Amino acid sequence: MILIAVDALRSSLLLHRLFFASLLLTCLPGLASAACEKTLRWDDDPPFSMQTADGGVVGISIEINRAVLDRLGCQTKLRKLPWARALKELELGRLDILPGAFRRPEREVYAYFSGPVLPPSRNILFMRSAVLPQWPIKRLLELQHTAFRLGAQINVAYGADYQQLMNDPAFAARVSLARNRANLWHMVHKGRIDGVIADEDSGRYEIHQLGFDEQIKPTTVVVSSDAAQVAFSKRTSDPAFVQAYVNVLKGLVADGSYEQIVQRYVMP
């Protein structure tokens, strides 16, 4: 009788443990969602991130990062920040995730990087149509000893050729730096500068939206073609989270989800 009672007690305890384990597993997605909230940078940078007429924020970068965070059980909180400010906020831990970043030694001090998971995008030189015949160049370095007036964004890495030119004080003095690329397109349109470096897809999209298709043209000058990465603040993310993020992102690339998102935004 005693043995039967002991067995019954053990069975009862086992059932209770199984019940609570099942209850915990059921609640985990909700708990993870409530506990995990990540801030994601965006700015007016179509087709990667942009605001719709009804106030929503969409774009290639927004959709793919929301998809990854959703699969990790995290809520996404968007923060609109210019690029230079976003880097500082990432360093201070007030921004968690910064897509479209290039790995640099000075940034690795405060940020983890995803590695080159997404396909590389090209930064190319766009020129004012009127000056295209004047500079039939194949590389950016060919502009070093000319009067060409270049426009670029502050704290954006454009590759080795651009950095070499910026190390030349005479050339750097002719470069107009701006936080907002829209300002640079207007400067080209008005003839204040001759060209702008921009992502190939972003540049075509923005020029078309501004109605400058005839005045500003893409060139065949590829300034850089490195794969951009996703940066994570070391103050708010650990290597385990970064690896989990990368694994999900790789899955979205492998199953075609990333390409489907891109095709919805890139102009034919």
Report whether 201 contacts 47 (CB < 8 A).
yes
Q: Which fold has domain 36-120+227-265?
A: D-Maltodextrin-Binding Protein; domain 2 (3.40.190)
Instruction: Classify 123-224 by CATH class.
Output: alpha beta
- The percentage of the chain sitting over the pLDDT mark of 90, rounded to a whole number, equals 69
Print burial letters for 14-29: b (CB count within 10 Å at least 16), e (below 16).
Answer: eeeeeeeeeeeeeeee
Q: Is the pTM of this model over 0.85?
A: no
- The percentage of the chain sitting over the pLDDT mark of 70, rounded to a whole number, equals 86
**3-state SS class at 64:** helix
pLDDT tens sequence across 207-254: 998 999 999 999 999 998 878 899 999 999 999 999 999 999 999 999
Q: What is the H or E stretch that residue 202 is in?
A: helix 200-210
pLDDT tens sequence across 100-111: 998 999 999 999
Residue ranges covered by each domain of the chain: 36-120+227-265, 123-224
Return the structure tokens found at 24. 């915990």
